[in-house]
Amino acid sequence: MNGKQLFLVLATVLVLGSSLQVEATETTDNKTGQFVPTKEWQVINEGQAIPKGLHVRINLQTGLKEAKLLDESERGTALQSSQTIDETDGEPLPLDYKKDLIEASQRHAKEYVELRKAYKEFQKNFRTDGELVVQLIGQYRNFSKNPLESELKPKLDALETLEFLLHQIDNALVFIDNGGLDDVLLPIVVNDTNTALRVSAMRVLGSLTSNNPKAQIKVFEKSFGSHLSQIIISSTNTAEISSALHAFGALLRKFPLAQKRVLSTSGTQALIRVLRSPEMELRSKGKVVTLISDLVQEKRFALEGSKDMPDAASSTAQYVLIEFEPWLETQGYCRALDDVLSKDFLHLLDQPELVEQFSTAIWTTQSMCHSVWSQSSALRHALLTIRNRYANSKDEYRLEVSHALNNICKRLYDKAKQHTEL
C-alpha cells in the first residue's frame, strides 16, 4: 500500500468512525421523547413512538429506521404507512439490527487502530526525494576506499536509484549541493576500474545534466568534459562508449561555453575517433553524427535568431567563437562519414532509424563536405542503394527516409548521374 492509498483508507475510517459516534449519540438521546416529524429523514430512536401517517424506511447504509412527513406526491402511500405503524400498536420498533451495528462498530474501531499504527510506521520510514538523495550520498561515503566485490551490487543499486531521481531538476541540485559530484561521480568516472560502475555513473551524469543549465555549469567546472572525451577516445567497451556519449551530449547541448572549451581540445577528436573505429557498432556512430548535427544546427539557429532577439547578444557572442565545423574538417569528419556509409551501408538496409540519423547529418553538414561527398562514387552507390530499397517499401516511415535520401542525392549529384541505374 503506497502513501496515497493509506491516507485515503485512513480518512475513510475516520469519517465512518465519526458517523458511528453521531449515530450512537442520536440513539441515546430522547429515547422516550415524542418524535417530531419534518420533511427530512430522521432516525427513530430506540423506544420512541412515532405518529401515524409517516413515510418510514430502513436506511440500508446504517441499518437504522428513519421517518419523515409525506410529500404531496406520496399521499397515496399514507394508508399503507399508517397501517404499518398501527401494527406496532405504539410499541418500540424492532431493533434486530442493533447487534450487527455494534459488531460493525467494533470491527471498524479495530481497523482504525491498525491503520493508525501502520500510518505511524509509514511516517517513520517516509523519505522525500531530496532526503533519499542525501542518504544515498552518505551511503557512498561509507563504502570502503578499496574496491570490495561485496559492495558492488549496493553501489550499482544506489547509482540506479540516483539515475531515476536526478531527472528532476531540484533533486539534481540537492545532489550537487551535498557533494555528490566530488564524493560519488568524479571518483568513479576518473579512477574506478570497474566498467559496470563507470557505465552506471555516466548514466547518472547524463540524467543529472539533461536540460538542467545549473547542473551543466557545475559539471563543466569539475572538468567532466575532458574526462568523458578521454573515455570515448580510449575505451573499446560498447556500453561504456554509449553512456559516455549520452553524458557528453547532455553536457554540451545549449551550453556554448562548454562546446568551445571541450570541442576545441579533445572533444571533436573523440567524436571522430568513434566514426573511424571499425570496432564501434553503428548505433554508437549514429549517436555521434546526431550529436554533431544537433550542435551544428544549434549554432545556426542561435545566430539566425539573434537578429530578432537583441537581448540574446551575450549568447550569440559565445556561439560566434565556436568554430565547430572547421574543427570537424581538421579531424577528417567528411572522409570518416563517407567511409562509414560506403563500407557499412548493407547493414543499414534493415535499420531505417539509423539511416535517418545519418541522412540528417549529411543534410546538415553537406555544405561543409560537398566537395568530398559529391566526388565519392562509393558514397553515391550506398545512398542510391538504400534509397531504392526503401522507395519500393510499403512502410510509410521507410518511404519518408527514401524521400530524404533522394533530396540529398539531388543536392550532391547532377541530374544525369542521379538517374543512372546501379
The pTM of the full predicted model, rounded to 2 decimals, is 0.69
| More confident site: 164 or 17 | 164
Percentage above 90 pLDDT, the chain = 61
State yes or no: pLDDT of 84 exceeds 70: no
Using one digit for the tens of pLDDT, what is the confidence trace for 246-262?
999 999 999 999 999 99
pLDDT of residue 39: 86
Question: Of the candidates 125, 157, 180, which is a domain's last residue?
Answer: 125
Count of helix runs (H) and strand runs (E) in the chain: 22, 3
Mean pLDDT computed over 297-311? 79
Residue 383 lies in a domain: yes
Distance of CA 63 to the CA centre of its chain: 48
Which range among 43-47, 120-124, 303-307 has the greatest average pLDDT? 43-47
State yes or no: pLDDT of 100 exceeds 50: yes
Using one digit for the tens of pLDDT, what is the confidence trace for 287-296?
999 999 999 9
Residue 40 lies in a domain: yes
Render the burial of 335-361: b for 16+ CB within 10 Å, e for the rest. Answer: bbbbbbbbebbeebeeebebbbbbbbb
State yes or no: pLDDT of 267 exceeds 80: yes
Residue 410 lies in a domain: yes
Residue 248 lies in a domain: no
Q: What average pLDDT does the chain have?
A: 83
Cα 293 from Cα 151, distance rounded (Å): 41
Cα 331 from Cα 242, distance rounded (Å): 21
State yes or no: pLDDT of 7 exceeds 50: no
Using one digit for the tens of pLDDT, what is the confidence trace for 321-342?
999 999 999 999 999 999 999 9
Nearest to 357 by CA among 266, 312, 292: 292
Residue 138 lies in a domain: no
State yes or no: pLDDT of 136 exceeds 90: yes
The runs of H, that is alpha helices, within 253-351 are 256-262, 268-276, 282-305, 313-320, 324-330, 333-348
Residue 218 lies in a domain: no
State yes or no: pLDDT of 173 exceeds 60: yes
Question: Of the candidates 87, 110, 125, which is a domain's last residue?
Answer: 125
- The domain of 393 spans 337-422
Distance of CA 84 to the CA centre of its chain: 64
Least confident of 67-71, 157-161, 183-187, 391-395: 67-71
Provide the edge-to-edge strand list for the sheet that holds 65-68: 42-43, 65-68, 55-58
pLDDT of residue 360: 97
Question: Of the candidates 125, 145, 171, which is a domain's last residue?
Answer: 125
SS3 42: strand
| Number of domains into which the chain is organized | 2
Residue 175 lies in a domain: no
Residue 169 lies in a domain: no
